[in-house]
Structure 1
Amino acid sequence: MMHTNKTIGFIGIGVMGKSMAKNLLDAGFPVHIYTRTKEKAKVLVEKGAVWKKSVDGLASDVDVIITMVGYPSDVEAVYFGGKGILENAKQNTYVIDMTTSKPALAEKISDEASKRGLFALDAPVSGGDIGAQNGTLSIMIGGDTEVYQELLPLFEVMGSNIIHQGKAGAGQHTKLCNQITIASNMMGVCEAIVYAKKAGLDPERVLESITTGAAGSWSLSNLAPRMIKGDYSPGFFVKHFIKDMRIALESAKDIGVLTPGLELSLELYTELAELGENNSGTQALIKLFDK
């Protein structure tokens, strides 16, 4: 059983990571964090987190390492090489990558970890900034069953829908299923809101009717109201969604799956990013439709 005396290292204090690390601190876990700039860690340090100035310095000092970084290239950089996690973590350390990344990379980390006497899980999440703040994320996990069971109390601090999906890489594949579903759904949400406006309806009233019916979805309930208000602040960045869709498309091609909805969504989001919306929330897609 995972006791709160286990020290957790957390790498990646972004929109999601910051709240996840805060929830671990609030649950009584000692948390060490690494960020490239100390300033970024200020709020958490004030809450009792210990800031480390390097990845290797953090890795050699903790029992569990959680990574929540941006891109697969960031995951590679943080896990591999002389200053990376795998080279510097103590024997029997648990490493959990919660970044949405490539299934093949999750498998590579798992193989390398087991060679070094470490235990690895891939555990990407869904639920956006709100889920991270409230500790209600969906967490999709790949890796060894015993390791998953050992770390379950940790996951329960950060999420409420925690499902072990299978061997290494299975968490990442599940997250890609999630992103593929959202990709087409976001287009539908935008089209519906613009249609409601152009038909002379009050879009907020329309949402009252359609969010609880067969059209209901997380995006419709949580992001459509932001679209109507013109609030494009990021719960999830456009640039990161594009990254996820590219990984999903690459993976889909590898396993021979047809994904026309995903392809169209990626085209539209790429166009949106070119208009300077990379750092907006994914709900900014409506700007392409609402002209």
Structure 2
Amino acid sequence: MQALYEEAILAFNVLGKKSFFLGQVGNGAKMKLVVNMIMGSMMNAFSEGLVLAGNSGLDPHTLLDVLDLGAIANPMFKLKGPTMIQSSYSPAFPLKHQQKDMRLALALGDENAVSMPVAAAANEVILFFHLL
């Protein structure tokens, strides 16, 4: 497997920012589920934070500035925040696919005896809005 990866590394480097050898076949899919699970959980907390800021008299734009200066600064908040504040929710990733990935990540957690209460709660929120 490693030898095949080494043969393809030049092509991978053209296609993306960085490539990783993750071992056996299927580990790339697992990594994608973990990343999407983290992103889904983060977006839930971020959405709640924007609403809490606004409803408690804080300027949500200032919240974005504060977040951008701290340890949790990330491109997703910077990209999505301003449009979310304006109630513009153009989809970049369909909710049904996010919920599927959350469900599959939770199943992966069960297979590996990893309790994920935050991801489970985020999945319930995503499922609720998907079913609306």
TM-score, normalized by length of structure 2?
Answer: 0.88
Secondary structure in 2 matching 1:166: coil
Aligned to 1:145: 2
User: What amino acid maps onto 1:198 in structure 2?
Assistant: N
Structure (1/2) with the larger helix percentage:
2
Secondary structure in 2 matching 1:252: helix
Mapped contact 1:183–1:261 kept (Cα < 8 A): no
Aligned to 1:161: 18
Secondary structure in 2 matching 1:162: coil
Mapped contact 1:249–1:262 kept (Cα < 8 A): yes
Aligned to 1:212: 69
- Give me the CA root mean square deviation: 1.6
Aligned to 1:227: 84
TM-score, normalized by length of structure 1?
Answer: 0.43
Equivalence map 1:163-182=2 (5 Å)? 163-182=20-39
Aligned to 1:272: 129
Structure (1/2) with the larger strand percentage:
1
User: Which deviates the most, 239-248 or 196-205?
Assistant: 196-205
Cα separation, partners in 2 of 1:223 and 1:261, compared to 1, 3 Å:
same
Alignment pair present for 1:253 and 2:99? no
User: Among the aligned pairs, what percent are the same residue?
Assistant: 31
Unaligned runs of 5+ in 2: none
Answer with 1 or 2: which has the greater Rg: 1
Equivalent-residue separation in structure 1 for 2:6 and 2:122 (angstroms): 37
Superposition deviation, residue 160 in structure 1: 0.4
User: What amino acid maps onto 1:267 in structure 2?
Assistant: E
Mapped contact 1:252–1:258 kept (Cα < 8 A): yes
Equivalent-residue separation in structure 2 for 1:261 and 1:168 (angstroms): 28
Equivalent-residue separation in structure 2 for 1:234 and 1:158 (angstroms): 24
Cα offsets for 1:122-153 (capped at 9, x unmatched): xxxxxxxxxxxxxxxxxxxxxx1122222223
Equivalent-residue separation in structure 2 for 1:253 and 1:218 (angstroms): 30
Superposition deviation, residue 219 in structure 1: 2.8
Bigger relative contact order (CA 8 A; separation at least 6): 2
Superposition deviation, residue 226 in structure 1: 2.4
Superposition deviation, residue 261 in structure 1: 0.9
Superposition deviation, residue 218 in structure 1: 3.6
Q: 1:238 aligns with which of 95, 106, 124?
A: 95
Equivalent-residue separation in structure 1 for 2:42 and 2:60 (angstroms): 17
User: What amino acid maps onto 2:31 in structure 1?
Assistant: T
Unaligned runs of 5+ in 1: 1-143, 276-291
